Structure 1
Amino acid sequence: MSPILPTPISKYFEAKNLHAIDAMLATFSDQASVRDEGREMAGRPAIRNWIEETTRKYRVTVTPIGLDQSDAKTIVTATVSGTFPGSPIQLRYHFIIVGEQITHLAIG
């Protein structure tokens, strides 16, 4: 059974699985940041570039399998499949949400 996710996270994963770049970007605040693969992206233009690059490169689909809360973070464990070596793998997505938008995402 899939965990019940906060709305911004649910919308992010739905858009990610459809490879819908604009819909993914819409879940982030204007000043959001993302940390992935040792890189930090800040602001919507940088996040858009990251979304476009990773979508094109990996064609990822994500299946959330666990949900934890730690302080202000929502941590989603997910099975991630795509066009990368070792697929599928489990990753943890660390979200900070303010209102109805993602303000920070760290993947690892």
Structure 2
Amino acid sequence: MTTNWPQTIPPQALPEVINRYLTAHRAHDSATACSAFTPDATVVDDGNSYDGSAAIEEWLDRSATEFTYTIELAAAQRLDATHYMATQHLEGDFPGGTIDLRYRFTLRGDLIEHLVIAP
């Protein structure tokens, strides 16, 4: 049987590690969010790359305090066996005030190996 990708899925059907990261990130819980990543993970956000646990935790701490905003998980897709996308709707005091961001996850085992955040 052939699987057709991508597949739209209910947000709650995202893998546990992605939901754990998204919940912790929304709550500004950097330690829990960081625990969702492999030690050698990479995050790309705003054109900057953060490599490894220490850099990712710094990025999480900074992003939690830079602006005040709300986040709503708007949609989810399974792109293939190890790739997922979550679309988050943000509203806050950042430039523009509202944006939909796509969080593209690559998993390795039960952890996040790579995350790209972009409009």
Q: Is the TM value for this pair above 0.5?
A: yes
Deviates more, 1:90-99 or 1:59-68: 59-68
TM-score, reference length from structure 1: 0.89
Paired amino acid for 2:95: P
Which residue, out of 67, 77, 85, partners 2:76?
Answer: 67
2:110 counterpart of 1:100? yes
In structure 1, stretches of 5+ residues that fail to align are none
Question: How far is the alpha carbon of 1:60 from its aligned partner?
Answer: 4.2
- Show CA shifts across 1:37-93 (max 9, x none): 010111001111111111110244421111112233201111123331222211100
Task: Identify if the C-alpha distance between structure 1 residues 32 and 15 changes in structure 2 by more than 3 Å, giving closer, same or farther.
Answer: same
Q: Provide the aligned C-alpha RMSD in A.
A: 1.5
In structure 2, stretches of 5+ residues that fail to align are 1-9
Deviates more, 1:16-25 or 1:58-67: 58-67
**Alignment correspondent of 2:45:** 36
Aligned equivalents of 1:98, 1:60: Cα separation in 2: 30
TM-score, reference length from structure 2: 0.82
Paired amino acid for 2:53: R
Which residue, out of 42, 55, 62, partners 1:46?
Answer: 55
Q: Counterpart of 1:33 in 2: which secondary structure?
A: strand
Compare CA radii of gyration and give the structure with the larger one.
2
